[in-house]
Amino acid sequence: MSTRIQRRVLADGREILFFQDADSPVQTIAEDPRPAEQRPVGGQLRFDLLTGEWVAVATHRQSRTHLPAAAECPLCPSTPERPTEVPAEDYEVVVFENRFPSLGPKQGSVPADPGPAFAEAAAESALTAPAHGRCEVVVFSSEHNGSFADLDTRRARTVIDAWANRTAELSELPGIEQVFVFENRGEEIGVTMNHPHGQIYAYPYVTPHTMVTSARAVAHRRETGRPLMGDILSFERTSGERMVLESAHFSAFVPYAARWPIEVHIVPHRQVLGIDELDEAERDDLARIYPEVLRRIDGLYPSPTPYIAAWHQAPVNCADRSAEWMHLEITSPRRAEDKLKFLAGSEAAMGAFVGDVSAEETAARLRAVSTVHEDGAR
């Protein structure tokens, strides 16, 4: 399968890419008729000496679009009367630079640890860097209503190809250390636009969570000679008690030490570092199994469940490629039909989670959900 790509530039200079299946008619893309506007000059990174973590400060995001009505949605196709972010009458999958980015639009490197420089200079400038990087929006469909779970296999595959393309290209930008593909679904999560979409962040540093997991993966590989995620996958497949479903190339399970009321990990059976390394058969399989997992999560309750879907890919310049193993984590704070889990003192302040339900109970409930999709997937 070959996904076609068309590249354009929006009126303010942001890049936009249109992805479509090889058997689809060539899309007609118009010039962006909107007047050119000044792009944000970019935010700032500030270094937390206590934790050793970078914090992005992007005050220009305060004015970003917030839950617009369908008639005002900036992700819907353009019309002659109302041009949007997408200058086309229709589209399949589109990716463009975020109008209100947390990182970028310029690229460059940042110090790994400016702490020593601060100790020498004792100045704020030693703890500050430009918020280099790039933030992109990935729109799954031209339909305003719906979700990734509603996509047929063909469209889901096109999105996967878009993720792979962006992972590969963004990893090559100057200073980029990590590419993070993710989707926030539901106002309870903090979504500001309901049109089905996700995002991609290209960071100029390795994120705190990835630093922890990568260090453990490297240590495990050094001590055992095996990749950590490979051992976790074998552990869950052998047990089977927390398995949700398996396919030829992927396993979906609730992890043994799940933190959230709903938490599912989707792990490829073959060790790959990023989405761009998945082969054709794996991408086809993922296009079936991923929406199926989301439909099972939605099937737990009468109304759609909010979630965060986070692709954990290896850092661009990882310490040990043989230790890394890409996977997807889907988490939701929904602990009952009308209740959400909020992070209390132990979790928010100390990072010490307390589970509300057992992993085995959640997995059993997800296995029991029966789903039939329009394209025949079950």
**What CATH number does residue 64 fall under?**
3.30.428.10
The domain of 141 spans: 3-32+44-199
Looking at the structure, tell me whether residues 246 and 308 fall in a common domain: yes
| pLDDT for res 117 | 86
Number of domains the chain contains: 2
Looking at the structure, tell me whether residues 215 and 360 fall in a common domain: yes
| pLDDT for res 375 | 55
Does the active-site annotation cover 209?
Answer: no
User: Does the reported pTM lie above 0.75?
Assistant: yes
| pLDDT for res 376 | 45
Return phi, psi of residue 371, to 5°: -130, 140
State how far the Cα of 36 lies from the Cα of 98, in Å rounded to an integer.
15
State how far the Cα of 157 lies from the Cα of 20, in Å rounded to an integer.
10
Looking at the structure, tell me whether residues 177 and 248 fall in a common domain: no
Backbone dihedral region for residue 189 (phi beyond 0: left; psi -120 to 50: alpha; all else: beta): alpha
Cβ(6)–Cβ(29) below 8 Å:
yes
Tell me which of 132, 197, 220, 327 is the catalytic residue: 197
- Give the tens place of pLDDT for each residue, 116-156: 888 888 889 999 999 999 999 999 999 999 899 999 999 99
- Both tokens assigned to 34: 């909107």
Show which of 150, 172, 199 is a domain's final residue.
Answer: 199
Query: Does residue 377 sit within a domain?
Result: no
- Give the tens place of pLDDT for each residue, 236-290: 999 999 999 999 999 999 999 999 999 999 999 999 999 999 999 999 999 999 9
